[in-house]
Amino acid sequence: MRRRAALLIPALAASWPAVAADGDYAFRVKRRGDVVGTHTVRFETRGAQRIATSELLIRPSVMGIVVYRYDHTYEEVTEAGRFRRVTSRLNRNGRIVEVRGEAVADAVLLD
């Protein structure tokens, strides 16, 4: 499993910006020159809250067949510059990990 993660790091470092909405970021993820995925970061404001959403989708394929799937969606909410909550969902080839966190008093509760 570590070998796969090590193979993805150079691909992420070599990502090139793609077209995105004003204030948002979009990258193509490449491995050995081939595009294997995308990484998009979007920002929006809802009232006093600022929401950042990150979506990383990596799906290399061989002859049109997806051989590996890595999907990670992350949303962080801040208010007045302070952390309020976070949600994260990772699908690594069918293995799903979900994390939620919320700021309370002087701590962050994780679920």
Q: pLDDT for 22-70, tens place per residue?
A: 579 999 999 999 999 999 999 999 999 999 999 999 999 999 999 999 9
How many helices and strands, by DSSP H and E, does the chain display? 1, 10
Q: Residue 5 has what pLDDT? A: 44
Q: E strand or H helix at 12, and its extent? A: helix 2-13
7-28 average pLDDT score: 59
| pLDDT at 22 (0 to 100) | 56
Contact, 78 vs 87, CB < 8 A? Answer: no
Give the tens place of pLDDT for each residue, 67-99.
999 999 999 999 988 999 999 999 999 999 999
**pLDDT given for residue 4 in this prediction:** 46
Tell me the CA distances in angstroms from 59 to 5, 22, 28, 100, one per residue in order. Answer: 14, 26, 12, 25
